[in-house]
Structure 1
Amino acid sequence: MSRARLRPLALAGLVTVALALSGCTSGDSLADQYREGSSKGYIAGDGSVTEIPADERGESVEFDGTLEDGSTVSSADYAGEVLVVNFWYASCAPCRAEAPDLKKISEQFADQGASFLGVNVRDQAASAIAFNEAYEISYPSVMDVDDGGMQLAFSGSIPPNAVPTTLVLDSSGRVAARILGQVNSPSILKTLIEDTIAEDG
């Protein structure tokens, strides 16, 4: 193909990209935060809750990863139980703010059919361990910074578009609910977990 024909094609491609970007309206708070270019280091959600009826949930989410202590974990380890997955990292202010609530709720449900699993999207193991010690968090976290495998595993259903994001998976490993952003109301997360557990009752 000649250079003369390549130039119009390239220009058409740029126009297409520009039109696509112009579709990101100011009503999209996540897009607004990305464009503002602040140095806060994270895109915060608004705490909105999405619940998915059981008959509308997608496929089971399959994942595997390496925890902060070097051991491995997979979705098979949580088969048959409700799993709460929290995406976080240590220097994220909303992550620090919600940590005490997550600790308390995880302890309340420890023997009631729900487990917790963190997904650290930015830190190395030492930082994650220090964070967990500081906030007395006992549930493990997958270290996802190197390959993003956990984020990829969840991208097809209800993606974790902000940090923090908390997902509740049903006993079949399907996403039943999502809190996009900081858990502002512990009672809401508790209700989501209780309702998901009750589905098997």
Structure 2
Amino acid sequence: MRARPRGRTLRARLAVPAVALAATAALLLSGCSSNDSLASQYRSGSGQNYIAGDGTVSEFAAASRGSAVTFSGTLADGTPVSSKDYAGKVLVVNFWYAGCPPCRVEAPELEKLYQKYGPQGVAFLGVNLYDTASTAASFEHDKGVTYPSVLDRDTGSVLLAFSKTVPPKATPTTLVVDKQGRVAARILGALPDASILDSLISDAVAEH
């Protein structure tokens, strides 16, 4: 795994509602070491209701990506979706919810990349961790987001599936999944620069 250099340090602060935090805390903290900043913030009991993602960009060599991630869920319109629907495709997965400030900021950039890479067969899938269907739909309408999202708040099944390999740990987190269904890259926190995700997607598309 290697971290992609960035021109500046960004610290994404995400307001996680108390209900969502209680439901997902175990997953967010799984795999964290005792000095992990995310774990430390949660354990501190400061009451800030924030988990910070520092914008770290990690890439995973093909030989170290492990097994394909298998997941299933339900889209906001009630349509079932699973990892089988994306077999052989590069998939960009973004974990988000409407009350998350950096999610609102990065949504238009994600949509631009979806419009750029969709014609090349790249799929985008949002994973909404907290909202109802109506709240998620309102957010997508306001931000012009046209790719689908799974509503994951009741089951947490998609979050759990990815947490077994490359834990999201923060919201937003964006994953690039290769054509074999394995996580090729992770951006932990808000996009530090849309061009970085653009490059990660392009790299995954170029792989055989």
1:53-104 residue CA offsets vs partner (Å, 9 max, x unmatched) = 1111110011110001111111111110100000000000111111111111
1:109-162 residue CA offsets vs partner (Å, 9 max, x unmatched) = 111131100000011111100000000100000000001000111111111100
Distance in 2, matches of 1:54 and 1:146, equals 33
Q: Does residue 176 of the first structure (1) align with residue 171 of the second (2)? A: no
Q: Which amino acid aligns with 1:50?
A: S
**Aligned structure 1 segments of 4 or more residues deviating by more than 2 angstroms:** 35-39
Distance in 2, matches of 1:111 and 1:29, equals 39
State the Cα distance separating 1:30 from its structure 2 match: 1.2
Q: Which residue is 1:45 aligned to?
A: 53
Q: Is the 8 A contact 1:45 1:181 kept in 2?
A: yes
Q: Which residue is 1:154 aligned to?
A: 162
Among 66, 69, 74, which residue is 1:61 paired with?
69
Output the TM-score relative to the length of structure 1: 0.83
- SS of corresponding position for 1:24: coil
Q: Which residue is 2:111 aligned to?
A: 103
Say how many residue pairs are matched.
175
Q: Which residue is 1:24 aligned to?
A: 34
Output the TM-score relative to the length of structure 2: 0.81
Q: Which amino acid aligns with 2:162?
A: F
The root-mean-square deviation of aligned C-alpha atoms, in Å, is 1.3
- SS of corresponding position for 2:84: helix
Structure 2 alignment gaps of length 5 or more: 1-32
